[in-house]
C-alpha cells in the first residue's frame, strides 16, 4: 500500500492511496483504495511515514501513540454496494423520480431507494428500517452512502405513499424496457396472509400459504418470459384467479400500449369463459392448458385424442373444431408425471380407505356406536372430502352399517390419461410451433419461482403489518421492485451461485420440450463440489449477499488533524472481488 501523487494538468494534483497486486496473467497492476486529495498536507505526510514503517505520531518515549489512527465506525458495506450499484446500473432510481423534481420528491425517491436496497439485505418492518439507517443504530452503510441523514418514521410512510403514486408510471417504463409487441407475457397470482383484521383488502379465500384461518390478500404478477417482474396488482383476498384477468388485459393494451402480445396463464386463470369474454375481444393471443374434464372428453372413443398418438413421440398436435374452434391443441405425455400421478392417486386412495375403516369401526363398536344414516354420512363426507377421491369409491350407508369399495373402472379410466396434458393456444403455427408453444407454457414456472423469492426465500413479503389498502399495495410494489433488482443481481452473479449457467444448452439437448430439463454438466459439478469451474466456492444468493456484507466501510480519524475523518474500505476477499467484477461495480465508488 502506498500514496501516489497524480498530476492533473492545471488543477491541483490528485493524491491517491493505492495498492499493488497481480492480475490473472501475473502482470503487476495497481488499484486506488481512497482519494486523499482533500486531506491536509501534514496528515498525508504522516500517512506516508506510517506506510513506510515509520512512526506517524511520536510520543515522548519515541513510541507510536495508540490514538494516532483510529477506526471510529465500521459498517457492513459490500452488500449495500452490490444492491445499490445494480439499482443505479439499471437506472431504476431515475424511473422512480417523477418529472416534478422538487425537494420532497427527491427525498422520497432517496428513501424509496433505501427501502428497496434494505429489502434485499433484510426483510424488516418499516420501523425496523428506520432503526437500521439512523446513525446510532445503523446496521449497514446504506444511510451514509445515500446521505439520508436523520430519518423520522413519518418520512418513511410518506415515502411509501409517494412510491404508490409512482407505480403506474414506473410499471409503464419497465414495460417499455422489457416488453415489446409480439412478446410473451407470463401472468400468475398468489396470496399472502396479513397481520390484524383492519385492512379492507383482507378477506378469507383460497390460501396458498395453507392458512385458511387467516385473512389474506391476492396479488397478480406480470413477468417477461425470463421471469423478470414488470408489474404487480393487489386484489381482495377472496378474489378468484380468473377475476383478476380483466385488469391485466386493460393494463397491457391501454397503459403499456401493446397491440400484439401473447398472454401465458395456467388453466385456472385462462378459462374458456375468460378467453371468450375478455381475452379474444381485446385482440390478444394466449397460451393455456385444458382442464382434466375437457381432456377426458377429447379422449373418448370417438374423440381426437387417442393414446396411439404417443407410440412414436410424447407430443402431438390435434384439432377439435367443434369443442375448441380456432384453437391449436398440443397433446403431451410425460412418463415421469404419469408415475407421480399414479403414486399420488394410490396414496390418496389408501389414506381414504384408512379413514373410512376408522368410521366403519365406530359403526361396529359395541359401546357408543355411530348410528343413523345422517350421522354416518356426515362422518363419511368429512373423510372423502379431505382427500377429494370420492369419485373413486362406491359407498353404501345404512342406519347401522357402512360398506365401501373402490371403483376399478373409474380408476382405470383416469389412470389411462396419467401424465397427459393438453396445451391450447390461439397463436398460429407459423409464429410459434408446437415445441415452442409447450416450452412457453412451461416457462410459467419462472413466475412461480418469483413468488417463492417474494414470499419465502429472500424478500419475505410476509408479515404484512399495514392496515390501509394503499399501504399494503405500496408494500407489495416495493417487494416487486426489490425482486426486480435481485433478478438482475442473480443473473450477473450466476457463476458464483448454484444457478445453471448452461441451461439453454441443456434444453437444446432434450429430445422433446415435454421431457424434464436435466442439469447441465456445469451445474452437476457445482452441486457436487460446491465450486465453480474457476475453483471458487459457490453458494446460495442469501449467503453470497451476507458474505459481500463483510466488506466494511470504515470511518477513520487521526489526531494529526483534530476532527477530520476519512473513509477507508477493507480489502475485498477473492470472492468479493470476483463478485464486483461480475457486477462491474466499484464498491468504493457507489453512492
Which tens digit of pLDDT belongs to each residue from 417-438?
888 899 999 999 888 899 889 9
Find out whether 5 and 13 touch, Cβ atoms under 8 Å. Answer: yes
Q: Is residue 218 very low, low, confident or very high in pLDDT (cuts 50, 70, 90)?
A: very high
Lowest mean pLDDT among 47-61, 213-227, 317-331: 47-61
Find out whether 34 and 16 touch, Cβ atoms under 8 Å. Answer: yes
Lowest mean pLDDT among 76-90, 96-110, 135-149: 96-110
Q: Is residue 68 very low, low, confident or very high in pLDDT (cuts 50, 70, 90)?
A: low
Most confident of the following: 77-81, 94-98, 253-257: 77-81
Give me the pLDDT at residue 582, please: 94
Give me the pLDDT at residue 172, please: 94
Which whole number is the average pLDDT over 9-20? 86
Contact partners, residue 104, CB within 8 Å, separation at least 6: none
Which whole number is the average pLDDT over 551-566? 80
Give me the pLDDT at residue 45, please: 79
Residue 534 CA to residue 581 CA, distance in Å, equals 14
Tens digits of residue pLDDT in 441-465: 888 888 887 877 776 666 678 788 8
Lowest mean pLDDT among 24-38, 59-73, 547-561: 59-73
Lowest mean pLDDT among 26-35, 455-464, 524-533: 455-464
Find out whether 185 and 174 touch, Cβ atoms under 8 Å. Answer: no
Q: Is the pLDDT of residue 63 over 50?
A: no
Q: What is the percent of the chain where pLDDT is above 70?
A: 95
pTM reported for the whole predicted model: 0.82
Which whole number is the average pLDDT over 354-359? 92
Which whole number is the average pLDDT over 204-214? 87
Give me the pLDDT at residue 342, please: 92
For residue 395, the cross-strand partners are: 404
- Supply 165's cell numbers: 403514486
- Supply 51's cell numbers: 506506510
Read out DSSP for 316-344? EEE--TTTSTT-EEEEEE-HHHHHHHHHH
Give me the pLDDT at residue 503, please: 82
Neighbours of 575 (CB within 10 A): 17
Tens digits of residue pLDDT in 117-154: 999 998 888 889 999 999 889 999 999 999 999 999 99
Give me the pLDDT at residue 167, please: 94
- Supply 363's cell numbers: 359403526
Residue 159 CA to residue 194 CA, distance in Å, equals 22
Q: Is residue 57 very low, low, confident or very high in pLDDT (cuts 50, 70, 90)?
A: low
Which whole number is the average pLDDT over 522-551? 92
CA 452 to chain centre: 6
Find out whether 578 and 496 touch, Cβ atoms under 8 Å. Answer: yes
Q: Is residue 60 very low, low, confident or very high in pLDDT (cuts 50, 70, 90)?
A: very low
Which whole number is the average pLDDT over 54-59? 56
Q: Is residue 319 very low, low, confident or very high in pLDDT (cuts 50, 70, 90)?
A: confident
Give me the pLDDT at residue 55, please: 60
Distance set, CA 313 to CA 290, 307, 362, 453, 516 (Å): 20, 11, 51, 36, 15
Give me the pLDDT at residue 500, please: 85
Q: Is the pLDDT of residue 573 over 90?
A: yes
Most confident of the following: 79-83, 254-258, 300-304, 437-441: 79-83
Give me the pLDDT at residue 207, please: 87
Average pLDDT, the chain: 87
Q: What is the percent of the chain where pLDDT is above 90?
A: 40
Residue 449 CA to residue 228 CA, distance in Å, equals 10
Q: In what order do the strands lie in the sheet with 11-22?
A: 2-8, 11-22, 28-35
Give me the pLDDT at residue 539, please: 92
Residue 241 CA to residue 56 CA, distance in Å, equals 70
Read out DSSP for 190-235? EEEEBSSS--TT-B----TTS-TTS-EEEEEEEEETTS-EEEEEEE
Which whole number is the average pLDDT over 571-589? 93
Tens digits of residue pLDDT in 382-405: 888 888 888 899 999 888 888 999
Alpha-helical runs (H) found in 431-468: 434-442, 445-452
Residue 228 CA to residue 186 CA, distance in Å, equals 10
Give me the pLDDT at residue 100, please: 67
Q: Is the pLDDT of residue 548 over 90?
A: yes
Give me the pLDDT at residue 168, please: 94
Read out DSSP for 343-372? HHHHHHHHHHHHHHHHHHHHHH-SSS---S
Contact partners, residue 142, CB within 8 Å, separation at least 6: 80, 84, 114, 117, 118, 121, 132, 133, 148
Residue 534 CA to residue 522 CA, distance in Å, equals 11
Please give the helix or strand (H or E) that residue 373 lies within, else none.
helix 373-387
Give me the pLDDT at residue 36, please: 87
Neighbours of 123 (CB within 10 A): 16
Q: Which residue has the higher pLDDT, 464 or 469?
A: 469
- Exposed, middle or buried by CB within 10 Å (0-12, 13-18, 19+), for 513? buried
Distance set, CA 330 to CA 286, 301, 311, 320, 508 (Å): 14, 19, 15, 11, 20
The values of phi and psi at residue 582, to 5°, are: -65, -40
Q: Is the pLDDT of residue 225 over 60?
A: yes
Residue 420 CA to residue 335 CA, distance in Å, equals 9
Q: Is the pLDDT of residue 62 over 70?
A: no
Give me the pLDDT at residue 463, please: 81
Which whole number is the average pLDDT over 276-282? 90
Residue 36 CA to residue 50 CA, distance in Å, equals 15
Amino acid at each position: 500500500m502506498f500514496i501516489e501523487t497524480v498530476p492533473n494538468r492545471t488543477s491541483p494534483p490528485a493524491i491517491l492511496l493505492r495498492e499493488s497486486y497481480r492480475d490473472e496473467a501475473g502482470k503487476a497492476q495497481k488499484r486506488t483504495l481512497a482519494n486523499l486529495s482533500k486531506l491536509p498536507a501534514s496528515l498525508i505526510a504522516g500517512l506516508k511515514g506510517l506506510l513506510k514503517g515509520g512512526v506517524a505520531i511520536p510520543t515522548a518515549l519515541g513510541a507510536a501513540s495508540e490514538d494516532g489512527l483510529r477506526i471510529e465506525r465500521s459498517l457492513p458495506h459490500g452488500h449495500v454496494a452490490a444492491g445499490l450499484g445494480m439499482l443505479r446500473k439499471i437506472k431504476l432510481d431515475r424511473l422512480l423520480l417523477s418529472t416534478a423534481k422538487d425537494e420532497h420528491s427527491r427525498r422520497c425517491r432517496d428513501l424509496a431507494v433505501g427501502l428497496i436496497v434494505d429489502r434485499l439485505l433484510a426483510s424488516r418492518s418499516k420501523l425496523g428500517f428506520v432503526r437500521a439507517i439512523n446513525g446510532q443504530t445503523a446496521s449497514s452503510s446504506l444511510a451514509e452512502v445515500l446521505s439520508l441523514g436523520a430519518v423520522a418514521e413519518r418520512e418513511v410512510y410518506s415515502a411509501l405513499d409517494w412510491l404508490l403514486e409512482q407505480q403506474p408510471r414506473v410499471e409503464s417504463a419497465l414495460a417499455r424496457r422489457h416488453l415489446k409487441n409480439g412478446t410473451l407475457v407470463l401472468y400468475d397470482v398468489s396470496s399472502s396472509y396479513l397481520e390484524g383484521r383492519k385492512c379492507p383488502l383482507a378477506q378469507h379465500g383460497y390460501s396458498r400459504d395453507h392458512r385458511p384461518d387467516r385473512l389474506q390478500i391476492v396479488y397478480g404478477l406480470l413477468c417477461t418470459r425470463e421471469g423478470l417482474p414488470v408489474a404487480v396488482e393487489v386484489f381482495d383476498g377472496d378474489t378468484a384467479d380468473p377475476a383478476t384477468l380483466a385488469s391485466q388485459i386493460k393494463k397491457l393494451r391501454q397503459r403499456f400500449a401493446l397491440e400484439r402480445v401473447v398472454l401465458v396463464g395456467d388453466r385456472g386463470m385462462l378459462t374458456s369463459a375468460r378467453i371468450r369474454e375478455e381475452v379474444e375481444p381485446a385482440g390478444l393471443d394466449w397460451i393455456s392448458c385444458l382442464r382434466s374434464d375437457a381432456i377426458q372428453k377429447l379422449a373418448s372413443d370417438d374423440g381426437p385424442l387417442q393414446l396411439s398418438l404417443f407410440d412414436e413421440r410424447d407430443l402431438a398436435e390435434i384439432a377439435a373444431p367443434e369443442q375448441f374452434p380456432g384453437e391449436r391443441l398440443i397433446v403431451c405425455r410425460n412418463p415421469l408425471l404419469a408415475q407421480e400421478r399414479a403414486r399420488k392417486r394410490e396414496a390418496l386412495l389408501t389414506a381414504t380407505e384408512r379413514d373410512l375403516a376408522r368410521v366403519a369401526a365406530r359403526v361396529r363398536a359395541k359401546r357408543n356406536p355411530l348410528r343413523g344414516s345422517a350421522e354416518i354420512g356426515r362422518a363419511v363426507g368429512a373423510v372423502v372430502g379431505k382427500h377429494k377421491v370420492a369419485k373413486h369409491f362406491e359407498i353404501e350407508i345404512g342406519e347401522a352399517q357402512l360398506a365401501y369399495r373402490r371403483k376399478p373402472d373409474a380408476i382405470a379410466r383416469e389412470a389411462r390419461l396419467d401424465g397427459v396434458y393438453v396445451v391450447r393456444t390461439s397463436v398460429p403455427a407459423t409464429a410459434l410451433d408446437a415445441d415452442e408453444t409447450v416450452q412457453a407454457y412451461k416457462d410459467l414456472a419462472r413466475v412461480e419461482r418469483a413468488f417463492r423469492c417474494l414470499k419465502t426465500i429472500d424478500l419475505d413479503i410476509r408479515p404484512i403489518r399495514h392496515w390501509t389498502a394503499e399501504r399494503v399495495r405500496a408494500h407489495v410494489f416495493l417487494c416487486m421492485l426489490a425482486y426486480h433488482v435481485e433478478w438482475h443481481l442473480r443473473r450477473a452473479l450466476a457463476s458464483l451461485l448454484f444457478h445453471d449457467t448452461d441451461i439453454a444448452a441443456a434444453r437444446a439437448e432434450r429430445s422433446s420440450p415435454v421431457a424434464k430439463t436435466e442439469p447441465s454438466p456445469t451445474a452437476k459439478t457445482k452441486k457436487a463440489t460446491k465450486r465453480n469451474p474457476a475453483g471458487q466456492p459457490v453458494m446460495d444468493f442469501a449467503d453470497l449477499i451476507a458474505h459481500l456484507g463483510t466488506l466494511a466501510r470504515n470511518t477513520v480519524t487521526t489526531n494529526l488533524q483534530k476532527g477530520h475523518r476519512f473513509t477507508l474500505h477493507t480489502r475485498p476477499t477473492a470472492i468479493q472481488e470476483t463478485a464486483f467484477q461480475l457486477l462491474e461495480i466499484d464498491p468504493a465508488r457507489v453512492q
